Amino acid sequence: MRRDLHTPIASKKVQQMHSHEREMEKGRILRIDEASGSSEAEKMNLLGELPIDDPDTPKKTSAPTMSLLSTLDTLPRIWKFCLLVVGLFFFFGVHNLLQEQIMHFPGFTFGWSLGFLEVLGVTVFSYWERRWYKEAGVRRGSWRSYVGTTLCLMGSSSLANKALDYINYPTKVVFRSCKLIPTMVISSVMNQKPFKGVEYAAAVAVCVGLILFAFADVRVAPSFSPWGITLVSLSVVCDAVLPNLQERLFAEGSSRLEVTFYSNILTLGLMSVSTLLSGDLLGALAYAQADHKAAVLLLVYTLLAYVAISLHMALVKSFGSVAAVLVGNSRKTMTICLSFLLFPKPFSNLYVVGGMLVLAGLTVSVYVKNMDKKKGADDAVLNCKGEVVGPTAVGNGGLIQQ
């Protein structure tokens, strides 16, 4: 005799089957939620709609690598930071020593042309690098943001180099080393980055140390000019704003090459007009034509500028503007030491005091950042792609901003 499906026993079995199906459905939904960062194909595979290894299914290919520096992303962050710092110290050190050597040439008073050559070299090489990596024509940053970076870049480069016509190199370093504190203040206002009191104290120690370190040279061989001081002071203001504008462009999804190219090509147009009107450009060309040694040094100076600035941009994007300024200030200390070795100058005890303050400030700053990093790592979580998310901010470029 056939059992009636509506008997209590049959109904109980049906309820158990429905309950088991509901539990399976909850498990599938949970797996889908956990894979919220997965690709669309992986999500569809969890739903049973698409085999993820289906050979007939079109797959999205990842974008090609856009930078020679991208290989550093595969290294641990500490190694990446160390390599960037070593590169910055070497290339910027040689670049700055060449700058001082050129300004020591008899009759060379065309400091504005040095800024023009820097921008020219960066524009040309960034253009060809963008073409090599098939990034030419791509622009994600807004024109409004690039107008700001252009004005700051022009002011930072041209004003500082023009100031060398009126003040000596150590005096320029004294004033430009004071940009750490305004950079931190502007970073807090523009990018809403909080800083601790001890970090501001470390920044003050670094700035005071560098000022004492370089002021000793100014005291034993002063060559001050009010106009030169005005120019270099204005360049410091521009230099403090520039890294924060660059960080905004990176946040919009702009690559290092894009920011480098568009910022410099706009600056090149403005500086072409200004150097022609001032006579610096034609004067420097005439000087190089008459002195072949000067021509070679100017060419090498132009090439090194692009490498050094590219490393600086990578450091800003990976570790933030304040870290870039701290590294830059310590690099200037090394540059001044090399300046004494290659261009002998009288010695003063203020160099020792200034150096100790710089080392103390940098040590405290690194300690605080490491403590914050460890605290953030404890709270951070990994998404399905292995990217750190949580208390630290991840930019569109996939790089953790400090």
> According to the model, what pLDDT value does residue 41 have?
34
> According to the model, what pLDDT value does residue 286 have?
93
Q: Residue 188 — very low, low, confident or very high, per pLDDT cuts 50/70/90? A: confident
Q: Residue 50 — very low, low, confident or very high, per pLDDT cuts 50/70/90? A: very low
> According to the model, what pLDDT value does residue 297 have?
92
Q: Residue 254 — very low, low, confident or very high, per pLDDT cuts 50/70/90? A: confident
Residue 17 has pLDDT above 70, yes or no: no
Q: Residue 295 — very low, low, confident or very high, per pLDDT cuts 50/70/90? A: very high
- What span, in angstroms and rounded, lies between the C-alpha atoms of 254 and 95? 27
349-390: pLDDT as tens digits: 887 788 788 778 877 776 776 677 666 655 443 333 333 333
Predicted TM-score (pTM) of the model is: 0.60
Strands 400-401 and 388-389: unpaired
CA distances, 157 to each of 94, 162, 286, 330 (Å): 17, 9, 22, 20
Q: Which of 42, 58, 62, 38 is nearest to 50 (CA)?
A: 42
175-187: pLDDT as tens digits: 777 776 777 777 7
Domain boundaries, the chain: 81-373
H or E element in which residue 388 lies = strand 388-389
Provide mean pLDDT across the span 313-318: 79
H or E element in which residue 389 lies = strand 388-389
Place of tokens 């920044």: 203
Please classify residue 92 by burial: count the beta carbons closer than 10 Å to its beta carbon, then call 0-12 exposed, 13-18 middle and 19+ buried: buried
Judge contact between 331 and 108, C-beta under 8 A. Answer: no
Judge contact between 212 and 348, C-beta under 8 A. Answer: no
- What span, in angstroms and rounded, lies between the C-alpha atoms of 112 and 89? 24
Residue 45 C-beta-side C-alpha neighbours within 13 Å: 12
Judge contact between 108 and 294, C-beta under 8 A. Answer: yes
